[in-house]
Amino acid sequence: MAVLTDPIADLLTRVRNGLTSRHEKIDVPSSRLKIEIARILKDEGYIKNFKVLDDKGAGLLRLYLKYDDAGNPVIHGLTRVSRPGRRLYRGKDELPRVLGGLGIAIVSTSQGLLTGHDARKRGLGGEVVCSVW
């Protein structure tokens, strides 16, 4: 298996590809950060559910993708904002609003991973991990 330099970008790409192919679920290698991203996506209604599977050591994260009644994906777009080569940090007043509040920014703060809205409410800034709309 290849060593990934950006596992979060890999997660987002797998979700994007799964939605394009209309898969019901996708599996990605698990990590605490990816589990927190999955929790936020579920809480915000972008995925149906997620499960952590024990796959002989490493562990897998299974995401159940969500579609509307017409069969269109609920997630219209995912982008990686802060990358390993170019980290992007924002203060509480500079956190991005995705599509004027229709999407979410996932921010890594001192209190864990939060949506941009929750981070603003708590008065926290941090690393902008990704945007979802």
Task: Give the span between the Cα atoms of 9 and 126, in whole angstroms.
Answer: 18
Q: Which residues lie across from 38 on neighbouring strands? A: none
- Sorted by where each starts, the structural domains of the chain and their CATH numbers stand as 7-65 (3.30.1370.30), 78-132 (3.30.1490.10)
Task: Give the model confidence (pLDDT) of 31-61 as tens digits.
Answer: 999 999 999 999 999 999 999 998 777 799 9
Phi-psi sector, 112: left (phi>0), alpha (psi -120 to 50), beta: left
Task: Give the model confidence (pLDDT) of 5-24 as tens digits.
Answer: 899 999 999 999 999 999 99
Q: Which residues lie across from 79 on neighbouring strands? A: 131
Q: What is the pTM of this model?
A: 0.93
Task: Give the span between the Cα atoms of 39 and 114, in whole angstroms.
Answer: 10
